């Protein structure tokens, strides 16, 4: 049994954060129909789909973990007949997920108010940069812009240098994708009590504020500013930092607690440094005491004496929070990630072994499952429409009218 079996989702995400949101739900059994535009509509997404030929796209689809456990249909929501097909889908759906700028779905007849009129039980999740309302709601943006507005970007990096850009993990995926999935589940649970659906309005920027709660509560209470690269969790002190090793790789330390710092000092034979561990005032910024620089320089030299993996084994044996700074080539060979099933392999009839990132949420009784690899665009158009009661002649008419693809 999969816990979300029977939940039907229409995905109008068109960008990876929305696709990850529905992927999480699909891994636990949700039946997802990915509604994609016709090829002549152009490509607004990010990836290879705009530059590769059809055979390459079909092969790439098998590796597209974001779209696993989904079916794909092509609908022209700019045409009246295409919208009618979509509205028939809405009647039987539980959830709609869309990722357009506010107002864009209104022009497609795919907005919340229209969907609610058709199906009052619909849970409608909108993912947008700044939310469905407010002075910024129509502004364009990407992850870097959202974490800028939310104040996260200014906290990351070295002092005196421009911020370090954390790829698009924060607002896009940790922010919008995860908050979207939680919001949908909460709304489905509420529907069990009320019988009614609702709008789930997820702002990428709001989500970053939520992720920053640990820091912001301290700013709001005590005015702590967490200067970039100068405080305890930002790399300003030697106990929470990365160090180069003799093989040119890096190892990370996270010795915030006094006992972990003590363990490190024992492991490296420098118990004279025990008094230079974490102190609450380190949240305020970097100390002006020159001794801290000496401690850091000493650690740099010590870690250059062995390889990364040698240090990892030594430190873990001494109960020191340490981590190998893995490259992507090393991640899926890490014994812990292999043990946890964070690399999945499937046999494909044409492509051989296909690998996907695993399912992070582990449920003891109803675990998630990859039931199917990702479809290529429009692969299931005919199948879905036949299942809705359209005849082969109806489908041919819709295709000739450019309502489907």
List, by residue number, the catalytic residues.
142, 172
Contact 318, 260 (CB under 8 A): no
Q: What Rg value do the Cα atoms of the chain yield, rounded?
A: 25
The position carrying tokens 């300003």 is 236
Entry field: residues in the chain: 405
Ranges of H-type helices in 54-176: 54-63, 80-92, 112-118, 143-149
Structural element, H or E, at residue 42: none
Please classify residue 352 by burial: count the beta carbons closer than 10 Å to its beta carbon, then call 0-12 exposed, 13-18 middle and 19+ buried: exposed
Max intra-chain CA distance, the chain: 84
CA–CA separation, 346 and 351 (whole Å): 10
| DSSP at 404 | B
For residue 53, count CB atoms less than 10 angstroms from its CB and return exposed for 0-12, middle for 13-18, buried for 19 or more. exposed
């Amino acid at each position: 049994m999969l816990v979300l079996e029977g939940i039907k989702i229409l995905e109008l995400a068109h960008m990876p954060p929305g696709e990850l949101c529905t992927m999480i739900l699909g891994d636990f059994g949700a039946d997802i129909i990915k509604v994609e535009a016709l090829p002549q509509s152009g490509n607004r997404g990010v990836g290879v789909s705009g530059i590769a030929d059809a055979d390459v796209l079909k092969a790439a689809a098998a590796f597209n973990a974001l779209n696993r456990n989904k079916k794909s249909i092509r609908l022209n929501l700019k045409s009246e007949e295409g919208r009618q097909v979509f509205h028939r889908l809405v009647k039987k759906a539980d959830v709609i997920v869309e990722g357009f700028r506010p107002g864009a779905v209104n022009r497609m007849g795919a907005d919340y108010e229209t969907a609610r009129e058709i199906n009052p039980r619909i849970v409608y999740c909108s993912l947008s940069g700044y939310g469905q309302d407010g002075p910024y709601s129509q502004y364009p943006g990407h992850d870097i812009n959202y974490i800028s507005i939310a104040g996260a970007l200014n906290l990351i990096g070295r002092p005196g240098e421009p911020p370090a850009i954390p790829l698009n993990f924060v607002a896009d995926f940790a922010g919008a994708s995860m908050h979207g999935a939680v919001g949908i589940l909460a709304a489905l649970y509420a529907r069990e009590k009320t019988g009614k659906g609702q709008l789930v309005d997820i702002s990428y920027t709001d989500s970053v504020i939520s992720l920053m709660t640990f820091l912001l509560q301290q700013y709001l209470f005590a005015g702590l500013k967490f200067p970039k690269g100068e405080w305890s969790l930002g790399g300003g002190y030697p106990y929470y930092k990365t160090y180069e090793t003799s093989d040119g790789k890096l190892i990370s330390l996270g010795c915030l607690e006094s006992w972990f710092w003590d363990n490190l000092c024992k492991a490296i034979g420098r118990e004279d440094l025990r008094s230079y561990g974490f102190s609450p005032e380190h949240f305020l910024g970097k100390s002006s005491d020159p001794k801290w620089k000496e401690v850091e320089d000493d650690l740099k030299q010590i870690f250059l004496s062995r390889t990364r993996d040698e240090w990892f084994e030594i430190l873990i044996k001494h109960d020191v929070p340490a981590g190998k700074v893995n490259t992507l080539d090393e991640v899926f060979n890490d014994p812990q990630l292999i043990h946890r099933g964070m690399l999945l392999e499937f046999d494909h009839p044409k492509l051989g072994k296909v690998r996907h990132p695993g399912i992070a949420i582990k449920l003891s009784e109803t675990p998630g499952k990859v039931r199917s690899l990702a479809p290529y665009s429009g692969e299931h158009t005919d199948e879905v429409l036949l299942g809705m009661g359209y005849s082969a002649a109806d489908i041919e008419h819709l295709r000739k009218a450019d309502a489907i693809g």
